[in-house]
A and B are shown apart, each in its own frame.
Chain A
Amino acid sequence: MSEPIIKLTQLTKKYGEHTAVDRLDLQIQRGEVFGLLGPNGAGKSTTILMILGLTEPTSGKAVACGLDSTRYPMEVKKRVGYLPDDVGFYEDRSGLDNLVYTARLNRIPVTEAHRRAWELLERVGLKEVGHKKTGTYSRGMRQRLGLADVLIKQPEVIILDEPTLGIDPEGVRELLELIHRLSREEGITVLISSHHLHQMQQICDRVGLFVRGKLLAEGDLATLAARLFIQEQITIELGMETDNPESILEQIRAFPDVIRVEQSGEYYVIGCSRDLTNDLSHAVINSGAILTHLNRRQFGLDEIYHRYFEGGETHAGDRQAEKAMANT
C-alpha cells in the first residue's frame, strides 16, 4: 500500500481537563473518500483543525501530504483545502470576487484566478449569480461556492466539515454528487465530517465512527458491520394481500438466512443475512397471495451506529444521551 496522504498517530488534544481528541490513529489513502462520522462535540472539528495545523495537538502527530502539520502549516495549507462548517463569505463582495481573493492569497496571478473562478462557478452551478453579492446567496449556494473556494487552489486533499448541514434534500443530493464526481474525476482525496449517516453512506469509500474523541471503528460498510458483529445485514419490507398470512410467514421463517420476522403496521419486516428479495416474492406469489409491497432496505450506517451503542455501552444514562445525539 502506498504512503497514506493523511496519517494521524496518537493524536491527542486536551482543553484543560476535557479531552477532545484521544490518541487518534487514522490513515487516509490517496484518492479515497473518507467519512468521519460522529455526534456533535465528538472532536471531529478539532481533529480537522489539527490536520490543517490551525491548532496544535497536545501530543501525537498529524501528517498531511507527507508534511508535519504542526511544523509546516503553510505548506500543508497550500495542499489541503478546507471548507469550514457554515462557511462565510465577504457579503458585500460578489461570489467571483470572493473566489479571486482566495486565489490571490494562494499566489495565483489575477487573470489566471479569474479564469479558474469562472470555470469553478460553472462547475458548481453558480455561473449566473457569479456577479451577485454573496449576501444574497442561499445557504446551499454558499456551500457550493465554498466548494469552489476550496478547489480554486487545486488542492490534493479537501476537508469538508459538515458540508450538508442546513441544506434542503435536493441541495444535499446535488452537493454530494458534486463531491463524488470531483473525487472520481480529479482524484482528489476527500475527508468529510458529518453526523448525517445516510448521506455519508452515499459517497464514502470508508467511514470512521468517532465518538468522544475516540475512533470506535473504521472501514467500509461491510467491514464495519462485520466488526460490530451484526449478522442482520439487510431488512426487507413486505406487504401482501392474503387470507392466510400465517402460512406464508411460516414458509418465510423456514428460509435459512432469515433471522427475524416482525409485523410493523401493514407491512412485515424481515431481517436476513443476505438479499432474499427474490425468494420472498416467489414464496408469496406461489402461495396465491398478492404482493403489494416489497422494499429492500440496505443496511444503514445509523443502524450500525445505533447498535453499537445498544451493545457497547455500560451506562444506561450515557447510552440514552448518545442515542439522542446520534438521532439528531
Chain B
Amino acid sequence: MQVIVKLRRLWPIRKSRKDVGDDVAEGRDQTILHPFWVMVEKEASDLVRSWRSIILLALMTLTCFGSLYTAIQTIQSVDPTSDELKSFVFLRLFTLSDGTLPSFITFVGFLGPLIGLGLGFDAINTERNKGTLSRLMSQPIHRDYVISSKFLAALMIIAVMFLSLGFVVMGMGLWSIGIPPSPEEFLRMVLFLLLSIVYVAFWLNLSILFSVRMKQAATSALSGIAIWIFFTIFYGMISNMLGSAFYPGETAAVSEQIGYQHLMLFLERLSPNYLFNEATTTLLVPSVRSLGPLTTEQLYFSIPNTPLPLGQSLLLVWPQVTCLIAATAICFGISYRLFMRQEIRSRS
C-alpha cells in the first residue's frame, strides 16, 4: 500500500511555472515531470533505440511465429473429433509442438532470461565507465533513482514486448484456426504473459546486480549468461545425478518413495526455470491438477480428464509465482544495497 502511495507521489504532477522559481518567466502552465520520470523516460528511449533491443525483439518475433506455425500445423493435422481438441483449443497455440520446433512456452522459458540479461547487463557499469554516473549523481536526484529508473524502464520495455507479442500470437491464431478463445482461455493467456514478465524481470534484476558488482560490462554479461546456461543445461543434469545417488530403490517403502519424490522436486524447484515451467504449464494446460506426486487415495472421487477451473490452477501455482517474485525482489534488494553503498567517483 505504501508503495502505491509513494508511486502516486512520484507521478507527474501539473505545476504552474510560478512554483518552479522566480527566474522562470510567467506564462502558460507547463507540465514538469518529476526527475524520476524524466530518468525513466530517458532510459526507456535509450533501450528502444539500442541495437540490442531490436535484435532481441527480432529474435522473439521469429520464435513467436515459428512456434505459432508449428502449433497451427499440429492442430490442423489432428483429427477434429479427437479428445485433444475438445477443450481449450486456443491455449494449445502456446503449448503444442510437432517436435520440429519447441512450443511457445518452451521458447519463452529459454529465451526470456536472455532478454532480461540483455537489457540489464550494462545498466550501471557503463554509466560508471563513461563518466556519466558522477555527472548524474551531482544533479539533485536521490541515488536510488538511478537504479530504480533503469529497472522500471527495462521492465516497461519487457512488458510491452511480451504483451504485444502475446496478443499478436493470439490474433494470428484466431485468424488461422477460426475458433475464438473463451473468456477463461483469454484470462489464462494474459496471466501467462504477466508471469513471463515476472520471470524475465527476475533475470533483468540479476543482470542489474551483476552490472553493479562488476566493473566491466563484458564480465557482467558473461556472468549472467553463465548462470543462465547453468540453470538451463547443467542444473537438470546435476539434480538428476543427485537423484540417482539418493534413489531408495524400487523395493523401498511408499513413504520413502514419496520422500524421495519430494526431495527431487525441492532440488529442481531451486531453479527459476523449473518454477517458471511448472507455473506456465499449469496455467496453459488446465488438465494439470498437481505439481507433485499424487497418491491413489488423493485421486479418489476425481473425474479423470477434467480440466481445473482457473481459480484452482492459480492456487496451484501460487507458491511458484511467489517464489519468482521473491527472487526478483531479493536480487533487486541486493543490487540496491550494493549500489547505495558504492562510492561514486569519476570513471573508477
Contact = CB atoms under 8 A, between A and B. Distances in A.
B131 A87 contact: yes
B23 interface: yes
A105 B139 contact: yes
B290 interface: no
Interface stretch (A22-30, A88-96, A167-175, A253-261): A88-96
A112 interface: yes
Interface string B21-59: 001100000111101001100100010010000000000
Contact of A109 (B20, B42, B135, B344): B20
A226 interface: no
A216 interface: no
A52 B136 CA distance: 13
Interface SS, A side: mixed
Contacts of A146: 135
Contacts of B49: 92
Choose among A80, A109, A161 the residue with the greatest number of B CB atoms under 10 Å from its CB.
Answer: A109
Contacts of B262: none
A101 B136 CA distance: 10
Contacts of B306: none
B2 interface: no
Interface in B108-130: 130
Contacts of B35: 104-107
A109 B32 contact: yes
Interface of B: 17, 20, 23-24, 30-33, 35, 38-39, 42, 46, 49, 130-132, 134-142, 343-347
Contacts of A104: 33, 35, 38
Interface string A61-87: 000000000000011011011111111
Given A84-B134, A86-B131, A154-B23, A54 B344 contact: yes
A49 interface: yes
A101 B38 contact: yes
A102 B140 CA distance: 10
For the complex of A and B, 10 pairs with smallest distance between CB atoms: A88-B131, A82-B138, A88-B130, A84-B346, A84-B134, A77-B140, A105-B139, A78-B140, A88-B132, A109-B30
A54 B137 contact: yes
A74 B134 contact: no
B130 A91 contact: yes
Contacts of A84: 131, 134-135, 138, 346
Contacts of A77: 138-140
A234 interface: no
Interface of A: 45, 49, 52, 54-55, 74-75, 77-78, 80-92, 101-102, 104-112, 146, 149, 153-154, 161
A158 to B, nearest CB: 11
B23 A102 contact: no
Contact of B347 (A74, A86, A90): A86
Given A107-B35, A154-B23, 17 more contacts: A49-B345, A54-B344, A55-B343, A74-B141, A77-B139, A84-B346, A87-B131, A87-B346, A88-B132, A88-B135, A89-B132, A92-B46, A102-B139, A108-B20, A109-B24, A109-B32, A146-B135
Contacts of B343: 49, 55
A309 to B, nearest CB: 27
A132 to B, nearest CB: 16
A85 B346 contact: yes
A192 to B, nearest CB: 15
B142 A74 contact: yes
A43 to B, nearest CB: 13
A77 B35 CA distance: 14
B30 A111 contact: yes
B39 A105 contact: yes
19 contacts: A45-B346, A49-B343, A52-B138, A54-B137, A54-B138, A80-B138, A82-B135, A83-B135, A87-B346, A88-B131, A88-B132, A89-B130, A89-B132, A89-B135, A91-B130, A102-B135, A109-B30, A109-B31, A146-B135
